[in-house]
Structure 1
Amino acid sequence: MKRTFFLKLLAVVVFFAYACKKEQYNAPNISGVGTDTIVLSLGDKIVLAPNITNLKGNDYTWLVNGKETASGQVNYTFEAATAGNFNVTFKVNNKGGADEQTFKIFVEKAITVSIADALAVSMGQVIEIKPAIDGPNRTDYEYEWSIGDSVIGKKRDLSFISPASGTFALKLRTTAGKQSATATRNITVKAAQYVKNAYMVLEYAPAPAKNHNWSIIGDAESWEFGDEHPLPYSEFLTQATALRKDDTYSSLVLGSWGGSATFKFDHTVSNAPGKPDIELTATYSRADLPAVYVAYDRNKNGKPDEEEWYEIKNEDYGIEDLPDYEMTFTYNKTTTDDRRVYSYFNWKDNQVTPIAGEVVTNKTFSSSMTFDGVFSTRGFFPGLNMIDLPSKKVAMMEGWKASFTRKGKRITKNLTGAAPFSQKLNVDIDLAVNKKGEPVQLPGIDFVKVVKTVYPFQQDFINAGGVMTDFNMDEKRMLHVGGILDKTLKN
């Protein structure tokens, strides 16, 4: 019996000894090491803590790019001291076997920012500032240009303009991921003298109407006081430019639908964030807003290129019923009798079933003379003038056309009870949009175009029993444009 007990006890001892020996030689297994690359910034630290199965008798080794950096520890703290790619390998072995896994780490290089020295520009002029920026290859870079507490730009390059002279500390903060870097440079803005009014007339494209006065430069109601200038087209632009430089409110009559004029400043108007930049004086009603377009001379060629025009979004934006409307105006004839002169022109639109008409202006000779004894152009087709009063001879001045087409969007409105009068219109450059209606960021503008886009109808309760009547050719509905002032200029 004793022998039997001894054999059983021996079997138990052998079993446990074998079991312990088998456990001791179980190979370790590493888990918890992902396949994605860990991205760090310079100065970051990360604790690498893999999971291990079978711990007895293990030896641990850590290697960075093949070089042993630690041993005898399960976790490892990696410090991002230099930029580059790193393979951090964790090795485990015991008598039962071995395993190893590698952490892939990428340390981004630091962002560096520098701005050119000796920055200088005249007030009312734009300088393009292009900083040198180096850093990690990322797509989430953000930029913030500022002067003091005012943010003046959110793009990498800055189109800088100031309406005032002085020296300013210009700061650029660049961020990407968790990194950021800042550079500061002084910029000197030199004093300069400019005219606040957009006095230069680059293009005058009026649309005629009843008693339209194409040659007026000044108050349209004071035609008899010498404000008429019946000149060839190029000379008229020169004269209008000269008069508008000296007299802020020398206006032009743009006329009926489609009439427009393009003006230029002698400097770039700064885009002041959050407030109007331009004050425009015009004759319009609350329901008859003129359309205003602006352009920044980005390529510095001195003229507004077609792709540089942007519309200022106003209350009427997007409500046009005919986005591509056209009207063609054609001079017909002028006839006279002993007392009167009759001027005729035709018009026709571009619709599938065209609408057309004729406008006749009936003027008496006695009531059409200015105080200087000159026969007025009031009511004549644009460019037409009576060049010899005794013989009643009329002629189209050089550069003007006997037939032309005006194009644009048409906003058809009932303007009953909305009388036009001379008033000021504030224009905010921040409201500029492209042809898709998307906001655009402009540092400032050099050119302004004013266009009549509202096609007026009125309800005649007295003479027509409430019928809607086309009022586009009525002289009371013509658009007049006067001063276009830079509100930001600190002269």
Structure 2
Amino acid sequence: MDKLKNMKKVILLKILTVVIFLAASCRKDQYLAPDISGVGADTIILNIGDKTVLAPNITNLKGNSYIWLVNGKETVRDQINFTFQATEPGNFDVTFKANNKGGAAEQLFEIFVEKPIAISIDGQLAVSMCNVIEITPSVTGPDRDDYEYEWSIGDSVIGKKRNLSFISAGAGSYELTLRATAGKQTATSSRTIIVKAEQYGNNANTVLEYAPAPGKNHNWSIIGTADLWDFGAEQPLPYSEFLTKAGVLRKENAGNGLFLGSWGGSATFKFDHTVVNVPALPDLELTAIYSNLDPPAVYVAYDRNKNGTPDNDEWYEIKNEDYGIEDLPDYEMTFTYTKTVTDTRRIYTYFTWKDNQLEPVGGEIVNMKSFSSSMTYTGAFSTRGFFPGYNMTDIPTKQVALLDGWQNSFTRKGKRITRNLSGAPQFFRKLNVDIDMAVNVSGESVQLPGIDFVKVQKVVYPFQQDFNDGNKLKDFNMEESRMLQVYGILDKHLKN
């Protein structure tokens, strides 16, 4: 009997143990700690007014309670999803917490709300036509490196940078609009600019520098056309007076030109206003005598510091079909006047020349003219055949003098394109110049609002077949038929 009772107790204990175990297991299954997944670690970037739904994935939902906190402050309870709305800029830590009797879990969402873009432009804007006004807007907003800017007048885009160098060839009232974009944000601001009317000449009248290179049989002191020497078009003057006279005559008539001569000869001109760089259109019209294989090099400068002088770092070359093909990029020729010899009927002038190569090439230039062919219709002695600055100051004694400001020895520098010009005759032609084709010394395009100065230089060094000597190629650089002559340099957009 006792044995039977003991057996019943053992069985009862085992049953109780199983029941307790099953009960404990049941309670544990009901309250497993929540688990949060499916949330990225990247910061969510929003702009003012944006909304984003934060929706974490949760397993073990039984008995859960939820809470959302923004920067530590309780915001919402008992919601699995939370809609965050960006109402102010800044960094926001959004914490989601889930817990039940089995445990707790939490997840952090990092949100950054960018500052809104704000643009401010000076209210009153005014400038004279063909003058540049620098417009510097105030732009605030998110700290990003992908800002893009666009200035426009109506449908025409006139700038792609934050600051605008504004210039107009026509007077009037214009509505300027700046659009700034960064990330998903865009902001615009508009202001009216008044452009006042002015009167300008459309030709580059002022001659800042005249640096011809010697050649044969040229009336160097002409300001105009070579055939006019007989009618007093010559100007045998001191250097500074020659420049002044050239400016006066070019203002009277854009057709009054200058002879630049052989390789390296150049002249620098100045407008009385800034020539506007109009996108996609040629801006200058240069008239000159040259062949289609011998175009002059054109350099332009914008007077950014307004000192009235083209500084060395302001010059840019206009890229043409010959750009980059020079065989001698830093060529130099030094010319030296040696003597004048006269007899009863003739005058001979002599120049020597030498270049800057490792094995220098040189030679002599001799000009000859007779007294009988050197008198103008008024009976005055002509400088025809003399290099600029030289004049026979006393005819009876045959005294030749160098006028003030000119030099007996001088060097011409530049790039050299050596080319056979056989069958490419010179003629009077017009060259269109687009300021958008300006490049720096590295060949990189530059954006200029306009230009104030133009330099024209002969850079092709001509060789030519001599049909009278077995078609051999000969140096024709200093022959009269290959001299560069430059006339008008006109602003194509000027509206007075």
Normalising by structure 1, what TM-score? 0.96
- 1:490 corresponding residue in structure 2: 495
Query: Offset at 1:32?
Result: 3.4
Q: 1:266 aligns with which of 251, 272, 293?
A: 272
* Structure 1 match to 2:328: 322
Partner of 1:250: 256
Q: CA separation in 1, counterparts of 2:329 and 2:164?
A: 35
Instruction: Give the aligned partner of residue 285 of structure 2.
Output: 279
CA separation in 2, counterparts of 1:216 and 1:278? 24
Q: Which amino acid is the alignment partner of residue 343 of structure 1?
A: T
Per-residue CA distance 1:137-196 (angstroms, 9 max, x = gap): 111111111111100011111111111111111111111111111111111111111000
Question: Deviation per CA, 1:100-131, whole angstroms, max 9, x where unpaired?
Answer: 22111111111111111121111111111111
1:69 to 2:75 alignment: yes
Deviation, structure 1 residue 5: 11
Question: Match for 1:449 among 455, 460, 464?
Answer: 455
Choose the corresponding residue for 1:467, options 467, 472, 481: 472
What's the CA shift for 1:212?
A: 3.0
Q: Distance in 2 between matches of 1:484 and 1:457?
A: 28
Q: Indicate the SS of the match to 1:391.
A: coil
Alignment of 1:362-381 (within 5 A): 362-381=368-387
- Equivalents in 2 of 1:31, 1:294: separation in Å? 65
Of 344, 348, 357, which aligns to 1:351? 357
Deviations 1:205-256 (A, max 9, x none): 1111112332110002322221110100000000000100111110000000
Instruction: Look up the SS of the partner of 1:242 in the other structure.
Output: helix
Alignment counterpart, residue 219 of structure 2, candidates 213, 220, 232: 213
**Distance in structure 1 (CA, Å) of the matches to 2:155 and 2:40:** 44
Choose 260-269 or 38-47, whichever is displaced more. 38-47
Write the letter of the residue equivalent to 2:254: T
Question: Cα deviations across residues 445-469 of structure 1 (Å, max 9, x unaligned)?
Answer: 11110010100000112x2101110
Separation of aligned partners in 1, 2:384 and 2:340: 13
* Greater Rg by CA: 2
Asked if the contact 1:283–1:420 (Cα under 8 Å) also holds between the matched residues in 2, the reply is yes
Q: Bigger CA drift: 95-104 or 324-333?
A: 95-104
Give the alignment of 1:72-221 within 5 angstroms: 72-221=78-227
3-state SS, counterpart of residue 317 of structure 1: coil
8 Å Cα contact 1:39/1:108 also seen in 2: yes
SS in 1 for 2:243: helix
Query: Is this contact kept in 2: 1:295–1:309, CA < 8 A?
Result: yes
Is contact 1:220–1:251 with CA below 8 Å preserved after alignment? no
SS of the equivalent of 1:367 reads helix
Partner of 1:241, secondary structure, is helix
2:420 match: 414
| Stretch deviating more after TM superposition (59-68 or 363-372) | 363-372
Q: Partners in 2 of 1:442 and 1:333 — Cα distance?
A: 47
Q: SS of the residue aligned with 1:68?
A: strand
8 Å CA contact 1:58–1:94 kept in 2: the answer is yes
* Alpha-carbon offset, residue 9 of structure 1: 8.7
- Measured against aligned partners, the alpha-carbon deviations of 1:229-287 in whole angstroms (never above 9, x if no partner) come to 01000000000001001111100000000011010110111111111111010011110
**Contact residue 221 and residue 387 of structure 2 kept, 8 A:** no
Q: How far apart are the structure 2 equivalents of 1:196 and 1:55?
A: 84
Please list every run of 5 or more consecutive structure 2 residues that lacks an aligned counterpart in the other structure.
1-7
Deviations 1:431-487 (A, max 9, x none): 1111111111111111110010100000112x2101110010111111100000000
Q: TM-score, normalised by structure 2?
A: 0.95
Cross-structure match for 2:4 = none
Amino acid at match of 1:77: T
In the TM superposition, residue 35 of structure 1 has moved relative to its aligned partner by 3.4
What is the alpha-carbon distance in structure 2 between the residues aligned to residue 395 and residue 244 of structure 1? 27
CA RMSD of aligned residues (A): 1.9
Deviates more, 1:92-101 or 1:308-317: 92-101
Tell me the CA shift for residue 373 of structure 1. Answer: 2.4
1:361 pairs with 363, 367, 376, which one?
Answer: 367
The count of aligned residue pairs is 490
CA distance in 1, matches of 2:18, 2:417: 103
Shift of 1:4: 12
Distance, in Å, in 1 between the alignment partners of 2:266 and 2:275 is 21
SS state at 2:445 partner: coil
> Which one of 296, 302, 311 corresponds to residue 290 of structure 1?
296
Partners in 2 of 1:309 and 1:371 — Cα distance? 43
Look up the match of 1:48.
54
Paired residue secondary structure (2:116): coil
Which secondary structure state, in structure 2, belongs to the residue aligned with residue 413 of structure 1?
A: strand
- Cα distance between partner residues in 1 of 2:383 and 2:184: 70
Deviates more, 1:244-253 or 1:13-22: 13-22
Query: Do the aligned residues in 1 keep the contact of 2:236 with 2:388 (CA within 8 Å)?
Result: no
